[in-house]
């Protein structure tokens, strides 16, 4: 994929203090990507929020920094739009893999995150596969605030006690915590209203991504997600992975599924031989530009 437009943020001219960024997306889940491998800047929460603000900043679901790594081709650091740092983002990983593969001149690259090194393959036509590793299924790995024996179906509900709108989700971590509720239709729930209180439920000490999933058949799911710290997004790669795992654990689907998100489809495989989850889907580079000094000053970002 190539840049399709250039966005003008004002009359600032390029100087030695200017910081470039890429605006990228995976199925509409959009990112500001900053390369800090040669030009490192601090990104406190105020700066992240200023950049992510869709009214006064650039606007994005997550801000991504590319940092040096001694164990992989690049270290990917991730902040949600609310300024909080998180450990995983599947759609962003596909974007980063495409950038790095172009730089090094080979399709197979590695991406270090907070707790693992991801293997990625950037194929033709803008399609990237990420090996997301093995899902975490124990209650203390997700994590939950209390011990739960069976995380494929936990006691949690939303709505009236005698007729809850949502109940008995599966919980999974794919580098970040997810709760997946299975419904007859993903269109029957106002996720923008139910998502926030569930995200902050006391059962989730690190908050959680809240998804509603609909089984179409043994190889197809529909999914909508309320992302912690970002809200409703067009797509969530780790939620697609988590929903596939949750569906297999309940016997609802096979290990290879197409997950249909509002922004498009992801192919997910929970591989039996090593327990790893493979995610395949597109990425796009929207444009490249320079970060306005006012956005950096909003958080007192400093050159390191």
* Catalytic residue list: 89, 236
As given in the structure block, the two tokens for residue 3 are 């840049």
Q: For residue 7, give the 3-state DSSP assignment.
A: coil
CA torsion through residues 295, 200, 202, 174, sign: negative
How many CA atoms within 13 Å lie on the side-chain side of 186? Answer: 21
Distance (Å, rounded) from C-alpha 54 to C-alpha 192? Answer: 18
Q: How many CA atoms lie within 13 A of 24 on its CB side?
A: 26
Measure Cα distances from 184 to 44, 212, 219, 283 in Å: 42, 10, 16, 30
Which of 19, 16, 7, 1 lies closest to 293, judged by CA? 19
């Amino acid at each position: 994929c190539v840049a399709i437009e250039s966005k003008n943020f004002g009359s600032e001219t390029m100087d030695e203090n200017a910081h470039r960024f890429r605006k990228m997306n995976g199925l509409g889940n959009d990112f500001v990507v900053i390369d800090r491998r040669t030009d490192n800047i601090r990104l406190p929460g105020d700066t992240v929020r200023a950049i992510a603000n869709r009214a006064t900043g650039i606007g994005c679901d997550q801000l991504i920094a590319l940092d040096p790594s001694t164990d992989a081709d690049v270290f990917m650091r991730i902040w949600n739009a609310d300024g909080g740092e998180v450990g995983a983002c599947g759609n962003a990983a596909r974007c980063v893999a495409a950038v790095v593969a172009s730089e090094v001149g080979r399709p197979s690259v590695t991406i270090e995150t907070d707790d693992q090194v991801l293997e990625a393959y950037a194929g033709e036509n803008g399609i990237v596969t990420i090996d997301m590793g093995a899902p975490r299924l124990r209650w203390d790995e997700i994590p939950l605030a209390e011990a739960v024996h069976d995380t494929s179906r936990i006691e949690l509900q939303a709505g009236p006690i005698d007729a809850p709108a949502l109940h008995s989700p599966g919980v999974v971590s794919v580098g970040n915590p997810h709760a997946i509720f299975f419904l007859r239709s993903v269109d029957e729930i106002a996720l923008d209203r139910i998502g926030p209180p569930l995200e902050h439920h006391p059962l989730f000490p690190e908050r959680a991504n809240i998804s509603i999933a609909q089984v179409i058949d043994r190889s197809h799911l529909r999914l909508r997600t309320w992302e912690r710290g970002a809200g409703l997004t067009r797509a969530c790669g780790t939620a697609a992975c988590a929903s596939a795992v949750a569906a297999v654990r309940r016997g609802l689907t096979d290990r290879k599924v197409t997950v249909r998100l509002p922004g498009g489809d992801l192919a997910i495989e929970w591989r039996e031989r090593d327990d790893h989850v493979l995610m395949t889907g597109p990425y796009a580079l929207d444009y490249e530009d320079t970060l306005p000094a006012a956005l950096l000053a909003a958080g007192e970002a400093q050159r390191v």
